[in-house]
Structure 1
Amino acid sequence: MRRAAWGALLACALSATAAAAEKLTLDEALASVAAPHPDRRVAESELALARANREEADSRQDFSLFLDGSLRTGRRPDGDWKPDNIGRIVARKPLFDFGRSSQAIAAADQEVTARQEALYNVESLRRIDIMARYFDVLMADRQYAADNEFMAVAYVAWDNAKDRFKVGQISQPALLKLETEYQDVRERRNASEQRMRSARQRLAQAIYRPGTLPDELVEPELKGNARPVPEYETLLPWVMAKNPRILALQAQLSASDARLAAIRAERNPTLDAEIIGGGYSRESTTRDEASAGLVFTIPLYQGGRVDARIARELAQKERTAAELEKLKFDLSDTLLATLQEIEWLRGSSRTAADKQIEYRDWALERARAEYELELKTNLGTSMAETQMAQIRRKQVEYRLALALARLQALSGGNLPPVEGARK
């Protein structure tokens, strides 16, 4: 009776606390993907850097204006030293560089594309991480509730045994055994309590609220767990064409090709238009106060600079190509493992968990009937074991939701249509 009263008071206290606390939903947690989390900020800064490089490449064809001057003196034929100062304003506009600028811009465009795909991949990974941290909190809460029930049962058994020991009904070793079992369960329950705190901290960091730990979470419906999934043979080419990491590396390969073309174009001539307005301290018939013309530059010898840059870029391109090939191998294995996990969770894992719940529900009803008839006192144990069966079933659904989220991330955000599936 005392235990039932305390249980009722505890339930009321928890209900009042839950009513006052702000409840966090999975959709609200996933909305924090757009928050300035460090992972996102790193990806955004790399994208901003790529865009800045694009603007720099485009500025190669910009008009330039600069002041050119010198302070000097010179000796005339008559033997006198005279000042020969020069001041000029020069305006110059590149007309043709025969591939340098256009290829540099093309390379910069591909780098921007690669960084955009990388940012999308970070968003997908953040979404999966938030879901995992959210489910960890729910599982930690359920495990704590079950362990707390096991601890209550063990304490009652030990407490009753102390009275029986006083009247000589049980031996001291038997009493010590019950106390040991209680202490072991109590330790497991305290560890579960700590996991609740740790899981909430990881979730708070994942949703970029490190100073505010979520108190209560709403159980998600996970309607998407029933969506149809394509076969491996259908999904593999889709993943190879849509995966953001593959697209990013392919864009980097295209950028390498454009950079190689821009480097090779360093051997080509350049043509600039130039307008000069100048002032001179010494008059001369060979000097113009204003002039305009075309400046044609033909590289004749540049040493080994161009060849060294080409060699470096070719090495970088080979590395990127190797990373792309390895990524395709890894993604094909990951895709197969994810599809197999989904099939296993939807098949035998769900069935086993459902049967476990069915059996535990029956055992709980039987324990409740025996408790009411005062035949046995294992009602608390049956309630805790029922909670463990429910935890197992929830874990299946959480793992299934994460597997489907990973599958969607591998596919670039969208799965291909499944033949025969309802729209």
Structure 2
Amino acid sequence: MKHKQLLKRLLPLAMFPMALLLAPALAAEEARLPEPLTLEYALSLADEAHPALTLRQARVDERRAIRELTEAEGGWHVGLTGSLRVVDPSHRSLDGTNNDSSLRLKMRKRLYDFGYSEAAQQATDAALEGSEWSYLEARQQRRLSIMRDYFDVLLADLRYIRDNEAMTMGYLHWDKARQRQEQGQLSDIEVLELESLFQQRRTEWQRSRNQQRASRLKLAISLNRPEQLSGTLAAPPLALERELPEVAPLTEEALNNNPRLRALRRQVEAAQAEVRAARSYYGPTIHGEVEAAAYNRVTSTRDPLAAALVIEVPLFSSTYDAALAKQIARLHQQQALLANGELELRQAVLDLWLEIQVLRDKQKEMAALGAYRDLYIDRSRALYELEVKSDLGDAQAQISDYQLQQAMADYELAMAWANLDALRGTLIEHEARAVEEQQ
């Protein structure tokens, strides 16, 4: 009875630091995250402003601007030139005035460049599509990061409960041993051994207590709300009973739909187009020109209106070979990145496929262990009530450890499925279809 009363006193004291460490976050004045926080709500924030997404979006905007710039290069170029000029006219000139000022409006447009503009446009289009697939991959990674950090908080809480119960039981055993030592029933070394065990459990308790705060801050940063540390998180419903296809079709699906590979393929296409553009950059070009001019001195060689078809044929450029070699080297680099990405993806799919199989077996193991723990605590409770044995507290600590192990197995399996969905491009599948429709 004395030990039960002591246990009741220790548990509230052990839980007090958790409330204390969360107090600063709960005092924030800004719009609060819901309490309890749910995984569904956390994932709904994945597309909100975050540096990782802002960086990728900026790259998309940059590529879009480059494409618009490339399109504009083939349009009309209009210029206005004004000249204030004083001359000493020739004695043969019919106009003897000294003012030779003029104003000219000139319009110029590239009509044909033997493939350069087309190749440059294809390169910018492919680069833009690649950046959009990279942005989709970043969005997927945001969701995976939030899920992982959310699960880490739940596990930190369960680990704290387990270590708190273990520390409490360690103290009770040590306290009971000291009482028996006073009665001459235990030696000093036996009491010191129990004290050492209690101190070890106390250290683990302190570590798990710190991890509660650290994991909450990490989740808050993932949600881009570093000032809001959630006090309570709801255990999410998990769809773990899913059919696992064979690894070959999974790999084929991932190779076809993975956002990162799609981005790399577009980058290869862009590099190929840039090589074609580099080959024709110093080729002939045909321009159309229209000019309207107003002159202060009128002569027989000056026309107020003029139109011309201009053909430019470069004869030599010392930079041609170097520029072409640069684009070819870039193409080889992108092709190597794509090939390496495909190899890494094949390995990643297989690793996750094997991991899911192991975690499924882990689920069965935890189910059997859970049934054993339930029977064990029932027996311990019955023996405690009969005062035959007093290991009920130890049994409860084992149940807490089982709950932690069960949650770890569940969350690992959930993350494995989510990672596999991300590799297959189906984590946010409707967004992937939207990108395809834009192409």
The answer to whether TM tops 0.5 is: yes
Distance 1:415 1:56, change over 3 A: closer
For 1:309 and 1:285, the matched residues in 2 are separated by 46
Q: Give 1:12 deviation, angstroms.
A: 11
Q: Superposed, which structure 2 residues align to 1:5-404 within 5 Å?
A: 5-6=8-9, 22-78=35-91, 82-223=98-239, 225-288=240-303, 290-347=304-361, 349-404=362-417
Q: Give 1:91 deviation, angstroms.
A: 2.3
For 2:427 and 2:122, the matched residues in 1 are separated by 29
Matched residue type, 1:296 = V
- Report the secondary structure of 1:282's partner residue: coil
Q: Give 1:259 deviation, angstroms.
A: 1.7
For 1:179 and 1:237, the matched residues in 2 are separated by 58
For 2:358 and 2:179, the matched residues in 1 are separated by 50
For the 8 Å contact 2:133–2:260, the answer to whether it is kept is yes
Q: Give 1:237 deviation, angstroms.
A: 1.6
Matched residue type, 1:148 = N
For 1:9 and 1:192, the matched residues in 2 are separated by 17
Name the structure 2 match of 1:419: none
Matched residue type, 1:260 = V
Matched residue type, 1:262 = A
For 1:229 and 1:102, the matched residues in 2 are separated by 45
For 1:56 and 1:199, the matched residues in 2 are separated by 46
* Cα deviation code 1:44-89 (max 9, x no counterpart): 1111111111110111122222112334444444499944333212
For 2:428 and 2:158, the matched residues in 1 are separated by 33
Matched residue type, 2:369 = Q
For the 8 Å contact 2:46–2:142, the answer to whether it is kept is yes
For 2:334 and 2:417, the matched residues in 1 are separated by 29
For the 8 Å contact 1:121–1:245, the answer to whether it is kept is yes
For the 8 Å contact 2:78–2:108, the answer to whether it is kept is yes
Distance 1:308 1:95, change over 3 A: same
Matched residue type, 2:280 = A
For 1:103 and 1:71, the matched residues in 2 are separated by 42
Question: If the length of structure 1 is used for normalisation, what is the TM-score?
Answer: 0.90
Q: Give 1:388 deviation, angstroms.
A: 0.9
* Cα deviation code 1:108-139 (max 9, x no counterpart): 11011100110111111111111111111111
Aligned-residue CA RMSD (Å):
2.7
Structure 1 unaligned blocks of 5 or more:
417-423
Matched residue type, 2:354 = Q
Matched residue type, 2:325 = A
For 1:179 and 1:201, the matched residues in 2 are separated by 34
Matched residue type, 1:306 = Y
For the 8 Å contact 2:140–2:428, the answer to whether it is kept is no
Q: Give 1:306 deviation, angstroms.
A: 2.6
For 2:415 and 2:104, the matched residues in 1 are separated by 68
For the 8 Å contact 2:286–2:312, the answer to whether it is kept is no
For the 8 Å contact 1:158–1:179, the answer to whether it is kept is yes
For the 8 Å contact 1:269–1:296, the answer to whether it is kept is no
Matched residue type, 2:375 = W
For 2:274 and 2:60, the matched residues in 1 are separated by 18
Name the structure 1 match of 2:421: 408
Q: Percent identity?
A: 32
Question: If the length of structure 2 is used for normalisation, what is the TM-score?
Answer: 0.87
- Report the secondary structure of 1:123's partner residue: helix
Name the structure 2 match of 1:421: none
For the 8 Å contact 2:84–2:101, the answer to whether it is kept is yes
Q: Give the number of aligned pairs.
A: 411
Structure 2 unaligned blocks of 5 or more:
27-33, 430-439
